[in-house]
Structure 1
Amino acid sequence: MKRKILFVINPISGVKTKYNFPLKIDKYLDKSKFDSECVFTEYRGHGSQIAAEAIRNGVDILVAVGGDGTINEVASEVEGTNKLMGIIPFGSGNGLARSLGIPIRAIQAIKRINKLNISKIDVGTFNGRKFFNMAGIGFDAQISARFAENVKRGLISYAKITLSEVFNYRSQYYRLTIDGKEYEHQAFMISIANSSQYGNNAHISPLASLNDGMMDICIVKPFPLYKFPALLVRMFRKNTHKSNYLEIIQGSKIIITRENAAVIHLDGDPFDMGNTLNIGINPHSLNILT
């Protein structure tokens, strides 16, 4: 029997147009294996609504066509079910797709779906919300909030916002409990890494694994501003774990307390949350095509 597959397309993610994407599906998807349909999202959160309805209607495979935020919306409904999740990377960074080895070019990514190779990955939880690639507190959350407000997408826009904010942002004090052990840190930011990278091959936790049942808590300590370029270079060289300004602690149950409520990010999308943050993991709970 053919599998029913739905492509959930975010038209504003990344910088490439997606309105001709259904033509690529018609040409490159294996019609002997799939009955396909495409639908475009119209607003933030629409991907979750589309995915939930599709699951109720018996769709077998849901494919997010967009970036990590689009993946989050669709995968949040697929996780914990017997349905399959696919990715066609069209975002600004495509962190999860890159970590899974999914081709960045759309045609190759479609052909990969035809093979039906299935992996199981861990899913993070953050005060009841799910994340699949990366969550963050502090500076990277501030950047995500600014980027979400920006009309222009892509790596260049992200880099410009980062450079404009790095000179003004101040480190914050955090108390952490990781699997029962307590820590106190003044931190520039704290990234909760399920995969190794933010996107664009910028690796904050080079040894992180998507299926080890653990999160990597990456604590970036205060650093002199002149060290910022060197830290960026370390990300692209995949050796941030050797920096004196980064401490990585693995854990599965994390509580972070901070002095003030502020924005956090989940897979690049900003959310306002309070002082206490409860982070956990659902091991091997998402079936994903890789």
Structure 2
Amino acid sequence: MKRKILFVINPISGGKTKYNFPEKIDKYLDKSKFDSECVFTEYHGHGSLLAAEALRNGVDILVAVGGDGTINEVASEVEGTNKLMGIIPFGSGNGLARSLGIPIGDVQAIKRINKLHISKIDSGTFNGRKFFNMAGIGFDAQISSRFAENVKRGLSSYVKIAFSEVSNYHSQHYSLTIDGKEYEHQAFMISIANSSQYGNNAHISPFASLNDGMLDICILKPFPLYIFPALVLRMFRKTTHKSNYLEIIQGRKIIITRESSAAVHLDGDPFNMGTILSIGVNPHSLNILN
């Protein structure tokens, strides 16, 4: 019996056109295994609505065609069910796809789906919202907010915003409880890593695993501004764990209390949240094709 598969396509993610993508599905998807359909998202959050409707209609596999934000919208509906999730990476960073070894080229990624290789990965929760690759507070959440407002997408736009903001951003005080143990930190940012990287092979926690039932809490301490380029270079060399400015603590249940309400980011998309942040992990909760 053929499986029903729906491709949820974000037409603007990564600044790349995708209106010819259905033609590639018709050419490269194995028609002996799948009955396929493609839909395009029209606004932020639309992917979740399309995914929920598809699940109600008995679709077997939902494929997000876009970046980590699009993946989050679709996966938030698939997580915790027995349905399958696929990814065609078309974002600015493609952090989750890279961590899973999914090809960045769309044709190769479609052909990979034909193999129906299934893995189970963990997911995270952040004040009731789900994330699958990376969440964060502090500087990276600030950059995500600015990036979301920016018309231009892609890595170069993200880097420009980061370098323009770094000199004006100030560290904050955070109280953390990680699996019952308490910590106090002045931090530039705190990243909650399910995978090892933000995207574009920039690894904040080089040994983070998508299926170990743990989250990596990456606390970047205040640093001299001249160190910033070196910290960025460490991410691409997968040596952040050797920096004196970064502390990585693994945990399952995390409470973070901060000085004031501000943005957080979940898989790159910003959300405004309050001063108390409750974070957890759901082990092996998403069936994903890789």
TM interval, short-chain normalised: over 0.9
**Aligned equivalents of 2:104 and 2:126: distance in 1?**
28
2:192 corresponding residue in structure 1: 192
**Aligned equivalents of 2:163 and 2:259: distance in 1?**
25
- Equivalent residue of 2:87, what SS? strand
1:9 corresponding residue in structure 2: 9
Question: What percentage of aligned pairs have identical amino acids?
Answer: 87
- Report the RMSD for the aligned CA atoms in angstroms: 0.3
2:20 corresponding residue in structure 1: 20
**Aligned equivalents of 1:156 and 1:196: distance in 2?**
21
2:140 corresponding residue in structure 1: 140
- Equivalent residue of 1:142, what SS? helix
1:111 corresponding residue in structure 2: 111
**Aligned equivalents of 2:229 and 2:128: distance in 1?**
35
Superposition map of 1:15-54 within 5 A? 15-54=15-54
**Aligned equivalents of 1:186 and 1:262: distance in 2?**
16
Count of residue correspondences: 290
Asked whether 1:72 is paired with 2:108, we answer no
| Alpha-carbon shift at residue 16 of structure 1 (Å) | 1.6
**Aligned equivalents of 1:51 and 1:15: distance in 2?**
23
The aligned amino acid for 1:14 is G
2:229 corresponding residue in structure 1: 229
**Aligned equivalents of 1:155 and 1:90: distance in 2?**
12
1:63 corresponding residue in structure 2: 63
**Aligned equivalents of 1:136 and 1:20: distance in 2?**
34
**Aligned equivalents of 1:244 and 1:167: distance in 2?**
20
2:178 corresponding residue in structure 1: 178
**Aligned equivalents of 2:193 and 2:115: distance in 1?**
28
Unaligned runs of 5+ in 2: none
- Equivalent residue of 1:85, what SS? strand
**Aligned equivalents of 1:186 and 1:167: distance in 2?**
17
**TM-score (norm: length of structure 2):** 1.00
**Aligned equivalents of 1:77 and 1:175: distance in 2?**
32
Asked whether 1:123 is paired with 2:111, we answer no
Asked whether 1:253 is paired with 2:253, we answer yes
- Equivalent residue of 2:122, what SS? strand
**Aligned equivalents of 2:22 and 2:60: distance in 1?**
18
1:157 corresponding residue in structure 2: 157
**Aligned equivalents of 1:91 and 1:181: distance in 2?**
37
The aligned amino acid for 1:279 is I
| Alpha-carbon shift at residue 248 of structure 1 (Å) | 0.1
Q: Would you identify which runs of 4 or more consecutive aligned residues in structure 1 move more than 3 Å?
A: none
**Aligned equivalents of 1:144 and 1:60: distance in 2?**
32
- Equivalent residue of 1:147, what SS? helix
Unaligned runs of 5+ in 1: none
- Equivalent residue of 1:18, what SS? coil
**Aligned equivalents of 1:171 and 1:259: distance in 2?**
11
1:274 corresponding residue in structure 2: 274
- Equivalent residue of 1:14, what SS? helix
1:243 corresponding residue in structure 2: 243
**TM-score (norm: length of structure 1):** 1.00
2:206 corresponding residue in structure 1: 206
